[in-house]
Every structure is written in C-alpha cells, then in structure tokens.
Amino acid sequence: MTWLPNATVTIGAVSYTTETLWDVSITYGRTNVWQQARAGYASVAILNKNNVHNLFQINDLLVITINDSASNPLTIFTGIVTDIQSEVNAGGAISDVVVQTITAVAPFAFMARKIVGTTVYPIEFEDARLTTIFTEAGVTIDVVDTPPIYEFTARAVNPTDAYSLAAYYAQMSFGYIYETTNGEVGFANESHRLNDVQANGYMTIPESYILSSGVSSNTTLNDLTNDVLLSYNGGLTVTADDATSIAVYGRQAASISTELLNTADAQLQADRYVNLRSNPQANLSSFSIQLDSSFVTSADLDELLAMYLGKPIQILNLPVGIIYNTYKGFVEGWRLTFNEYQAAITLTSTDASLSIVPTRWQDVDPAQQWQDVDPTIPWYAYE
C-alpha cells in the first residue's frame, strides 16, 4: 500500500496543507487504567517561507484532518489554540524562513476552566450526575452510557472545576470520561469495554507492524492491592481482602473514599478492587506502528487512524519472554505524529483483565438467546 498523510490543519478559517506542515503531533488519553484521561493536545509546526502574517489568535478553533486509505479526509483532532511560538529557522539576504509552532488543547482543558456544582445535586445515578456536569460546563456531549449502574448520595453546593468533578465521579463509577477527535466529551461506564468486545471483538495487530525497539513488559508490586477499606454514604465502610494474595505478597492495603449510596454497590466495588488487583499483571509498554509502512493494510490503517480511548486490541506472536500468550488489552492513550511524508502512532494499553467486568443482567439485550438452546424447549427441561 502506498499512502501519504496529506494532512490539512485549519486554524480559524484558514487551511494549511501538506507543503507548509513541518511536523504535527497529537496526544489523547491516559497512561494507565487507574487514572482518568487528561486533556488531549496538538502541536503543529507551520513553515512560513513567504514572510506573511498568518494572523493566528489565541482561542482560534484548530481542526486537523488526515487522508484515510481511500483519500477521504478524517478528523483526528479538534481543539482551541492556546500558544503561538515563532522562531527563525533560517535567515539570509533574500528572505527568512520562520517556523511557527501552534499548541491547541481539546475540551477537557476547557472544562478545567469552568466552575460547576454551584447548586445542590440530588440523589442520582452516575449517568444523570455526569450529564449535569457536562451540561453545566457547556461542552458538546458525545454519549453518556446507560443504563446507570451506581447511585450517589446528594451533593451539597461546592463549586469546583468541571473536569475534576467529572473525573471524580467517573472514577467512582469504575468508568472514564473521554474526548472525541471531533471535540466532544463522553462517559464510558464499567460495562462499556465488555460491550465493545462483544459487539466488535479485538483489533488484531500483527507483530510485524510494531517497531520492536524498546518494546517491553512490566510487572510491579505497585499495582497490587489485596486489602481494601471502602467508605460510602457519609462514612459507612465495607471491607474486602484476598487471603491467598496476602500470604504470597504480604498485605497491600488501600483506603478508598466514595459517595456511593447503597451498601451492595459499595461491597461490589470493594470486592472488584481486590479481584482486579490482588495478583500482579504483566502490562505491555507503549509501542509504535509506522503507518506508512507497506506491511500495514488499508483496513488496518483506517482503523488505527480512527483510534479511540478504550479500543480493544490483541497482538499475536510477541516474544514469549515479553508476553507468554496472545496479548489482549485496551488502548488507554495514543500519540499520532506525522509530516509531509511519514506518519506513526504510539499506543499505550493495559491488559484486558484489568477492564473486563462480570456481565450484569441489565446489560444483556432482553431479546438475546443462547445460541445452542432450542427456544421451544421449556425451561424446566434443563433442570
């Protein structure tokens, strides 16, 4: 496959195309599954060879598109300009060449400057709480996952920034907030990744795609928790521990504070923290893929360019010394870099076992049937 990025960066109402784009870098997401995503950002270096005033302004809308395998433009970043830096790259008697570096940020940065929570929040589930915060922040909402799972206590008036508050409740729900490349924000609940895998499966990334230098796996005691004290509903507490893990690794305790309303939800969360973290998991380091490589198929190129937080991936044939079996994980963050001729993407992921939660009946389609069960046979025949 022969493919060139052919990118366009639009700042305000002016578009800059491949020949003026020196380097572009875009970053989204987070570094691990235990934290919330930070604001996405882009750095764009524009070559100014004609000594023109580009009239860049702080708060200009900045949109970056790149061609997919069929030469269709795909939006890969939307944000607002926050920094403009100009530097002489080369100078002479005839003319000077200036490189202007523009930094833009995605909606979470905007949310961090908006104050919300100036009214009482009633007892409500996480979908209503996150929707209220996003609405008060004035952002465009992509999707807030339903049906709701966790119910929170009422929240007194306590003004704070919208990003911190949304991240706080998302973390408390075993979910995460995210940004889209079109400049929207959303909330994925604890069942989101399981539902995605069931609907779409894992994207298979052949080992031949990966730039192997520096790829490693890491197992650390810092990820381990086998004894949890979780507070809820104004100071009530529940506990959970794993005796086997404690015997092997010693007691690794954690105290977790929540605003969960119900005892059952609090105990379920305490148990889940221990189930997920009582045994060390091998996590794969960040790895890079050269998108303009002849090894990458058109279909995989398009899928990689349309990356999103939480995308399920699997990697085949990694060295046994790195990962013993086929690696299955979820993308937690990505960095896309390109210039006129080349493009690469660097993915940060975590092992799927840290994200896949048990299926709740409320997440199952009522019309779903077991594949190998005859629907005409009465239920008592299976007893």
pLDDT digits 0-9 by tens, 176-204: 999 999 999 999 999 999 999 999 999 99
pLDDT, position 361: 45
Q: In terms of residue numbers, what domain contains 260?
A: 221-277
Write out pLDDT tens, residues 15-46. Answer: 988 667 778 999 999 999 999 999 999 999 98
Measured CA angle at 314 (ends 193, 202), to 5 deg: 45
In whole angstroms, give the CA distance from residue 170 to residue 130. 8
pLDDT bracket for residue 371 (50, 70, 90)? low
Span of 6-20, 103-117, 339-353 with lowest mean pLDDT: 6-20
Measured CA angle at 349 (ends 61, 351), to 5 deg: 150
In a domain, 346, yes or no: no
A 10 A CB-CB count for 229 gives 15
Residue 231 and residue 178 share a domain: no
Q: Nearest Cα to 129, choosing from 174, 166, 161, 179?
A: 166
Beta bridge partners of 141: 185
pLDDT bracket for residue 369 (50, 70, 90)? low
> Cα separations (Å) of 203 from 217, 300, 303, 305?
20, 9, 8, 13
Residue 186 and residue 228 share a domain: no
Q: Nearest Cα to 327, choosing from 304, 358, 354?
A: 354
Task: Name the residue with tokens 């523009």.
Answer: 102
In a domain, 150, yes or no: yes
Residue 231 and residue 184 share a domain: no
pLDDT bracket for residue 302 (50, 70, 90)? very high
Q: Last residue of a domain, which of 246, 261, 277?
A: 277
In a domain, 282, yes or no: no
Residue 181 and residue 120 share a domain: yes
**Single-letter amino acid, residue 67:** N
Whether residue 153 contacts residue 259, with contact meaning beta carbons closer than 8 Å, is answered with: yes
* Mean pLDDT along residues 168-177: 97
Residues above pLDDT 90, as percent of the chain: 70
Count up the domains in the chain and report the number.
2
Instruction: Please provide the DSSP assignment of 29-80 as one string.
Output: E-SSTTSPPEEEEEEEEEEE-S-------TT-EEEEEEE-TTS-EEEEEEEE
In a domain, 272, yes or no: yes
Q: Residue 58: is it exposed, middle or buried by C-beta count within 10 angstroms (0-12/13-18/19+)?
A: exposed
In a domain, 237, yes or no: yes
* Mean pLDDT along residues 146-171: 97
**Single-letter amino acid, residue 147:** P
Q: Last residue of a domain, which of 190, 207, 242?
A: 190
Average pLDDT, the chain: 89
In a domain, 145, yes or no: yes
Q: Last residue of a domain, which of 261, 277, 293?
A: 277
In whole angstroms, give the CA distance from residue 306 to residue 290. 15
Helix (H) or strand (E) holding 257: strand 253-257
pLDDT bracket for residue 357 (50, 70, 90)? low
CATH number of domain containing 157: 3.55.50.10
> Cα separations (Å) of 305 from 333, 375, 382?
13, 42, 48
Write out pLDDT tens, residues 219-278. Answer: 888 889 999 999 999 999 999 999 999 999 999 999 999 999 999 999 999 999 999 999
In a domain, 169, yes or no: yes
pLDDT, position 99: 86
In a domain, 63, yes or no: no
- Phi and psi, residue 274, nearest 5°: -70, -40
